[in-house]
Chains A and B, each alone.
Chain A
C-alpha cells in the first residue's frame, strides 16, 4: 500500500502529461488542466515543510541552550516578523513587510553572492592551472572571453570583442549543444524510469 499507491499516482499523472502533448481533445486536455492547477497549490505547501524543519531544528537548539542558541533566536525572530507583517498587513510596496524585505533581505542576499567575487580571485591566483592541454584550452578561451566582453578589452585591441563573439557564437554553441542533447536524453530516460516505476529513489529508501 505505502508503495503501490504512490507508484500508481506517478504513473497515471506522468502518462497524462505525456499523452496530452499529442491529444488536445477534451477529456485528456481537461484532466491535464486540472492537474496543473492542483500542482501549483501543492507546490506552495512545500514551503510549510521547509519552515517547519527550520523551526524544529532551531527551536530544539534554543530549548537545549546548545552553543550558538542566540543565533537561532535571531533566526526565528526574523522568520516570525516577516510572517506576521506579510500575512497581517500585506506585502505591497509601502508596507512594513516590504520595508524589511528591501533593507534586510535584499542587501544580505546580494552580499552573500558578492563574496564569490573574492573567492574567484583567490582561486585564480592559487588553483586554476593549465595542468594539461584541455585545461590550457579552457583557460585561453576564458581569458579571451573575459577580455572581449569588457570595454577595456576593446581599448587594448579592437579584435578582442570580435574573437569573444566568435567563441560564443561558434565553438561555445557547438559544445553547449552537444551537452544539451546529451542531457535531454538523460532527462528522457530518467523521467521514463520514474513514470514506469523502475526508478523509486524519490519515494525514499525504506
Chain B
C-alpha cells in the first residue's frame, strides 16, 4: 500500500517536472521548490548521522578526544557567515579548508594529471596509433602555449592541435548526448514500467 502511494507520488512529481517542457507553470514550480527543500533536508540528516555524530559528537563528548574542540570551533565560525556583522570570522575556517585543498591539489594534479600523463606518452613508435597519440598530445600542448605567436611551423602545429582537441570535444559531445538520453530512458522505464506496468 505504502509502496503504491509512493510510486504514484513519484510518478506525479515526474510528470509535474516534465510539464515544464510545455511551458513554465505552477505545477512545475511546486515540484521545483519541494525538490530544493527535500534535497537540503536530506543532506542535513545525512551529515548529522554520518559525520557529526560519529566523528565529532561521540569522540568529543563520550571518548574525551578534546582536540576536536578546534574543528568544532572552526565549524561554528564557518556558520557565522550567516550573520553579516561577524561574518568575517568565517574566513578562518575557509582559510583552513582552502589551505588543505590547495596543498592537496597542488601535489595530486601535478602527479596524476601531469607527470603520470607525460610518462604514459613516452611511447614506442612500433604502432601507428602511438605515433598519432604523441603527435596529438604535443600539438595540443602547443595550442595552449601563449608565449609565442602562432605563425609558421608553430602555427601549423597549433592548428593540428586544435583538430585533435575538436575530435576529443566531439567524443565528449557524443557521450553527453548518450548520458542525457540514458537518464530519460531511466525515467521512461519508471513511468511505463514501475508505474503503469507496461514493460516486461
Contacts and interface: CB of A to CB of B under 8 A. Distances in A.
Direct contact of A and B (CB under 8 A): yes
Interface of A: 2-3, 5-7, 9-18, 21, 34-54, 56, 68, 71-72, 74-83, 85-87, 90-91, 97, 99-118, 120, 124, 134-135, 137-146, 149-150, 166-185, 187-188, 190-192, 194-195, 202-204, 206
Nearest to B100: A39
A52 B163 contact: no
Interface of B: 2, 5-7, 9-11, 13-14, 17-18, 20-21, 29-49, 51-52, 55-56, 67-68, 70-72, 74-76, 78-79, 81-82, 88, 91-100, 102-107, 109-110, 112-114, 117-118, 120-121, 129, 132-137, 139-141, 143-144, 161-171, 173-178, 180-181, 183-184, 186-187, 190
A86 B44 contact: yes
Contact of B41 (A14, A86, A185, A194): A86
Contacts of A143: 174
Contacts of A137: 163, 166-167, 170
A107 B32 CA distance: 12
A34 B171 CA distance: 42
Contacts of A190: 102
A82 B121 CA distance: 50
B38 A82 contact: yes
Nearest to B110: A188
B51 A41 contact: yes
Given A14-B102, A45-B79, A149-B178, A34 B72 contact: no
A43 B94 CA distance: 10
Given A44-B51, A114-B187, A141 B99 contact: no
Contact of A183 (B45, B76, B109): B109
Contacts of A36: 100
A146 B172 CA distance: 10
B144 A6 contact: no
B121 A177 contact: yes
B169 A104 contact: no
Given A107-B11, A141-B174, A175-B136, A83 B167 contact: no
Given A38-B74, A108-B13, A177-B121, A172 B168 contact: yes
Given A10-B98, A145-B175, A167 B167 contact: yes
A136 to B, nearest CB: 9
Contacts of A34: 67
Given A49-B79, A117-B181, A75 B37 contact: yes
Contact of B177 (A56, A114, A120, A194): A120
B100 A87 contact: no
A13 B42 CA distance: 31
7 contacts: A9-B99, A52-B79, A82-B45, A104-B13, A116-B180, A172-B168, A184-B113
Contacts of B71: 37-39, 41-42
A15 B103 contact: yes
B117 A6 contact: no
A195 B82 contact: no
Contacts of B134: 174
A174 B171 contact: no
Contacts of A100: 38
A142 B177 contact: yes
A41 B73 CA distance: 10
B44 to A, nearest CB: 5
Contact of B105 (A39, A83, A99, A187): A187
Given A137-B163, A179-B168, A2 B41 contact: no
Contact of B136 (A15, A114, A145, A170): A170
A14 B35 contact: no
B42 A178 contact: no
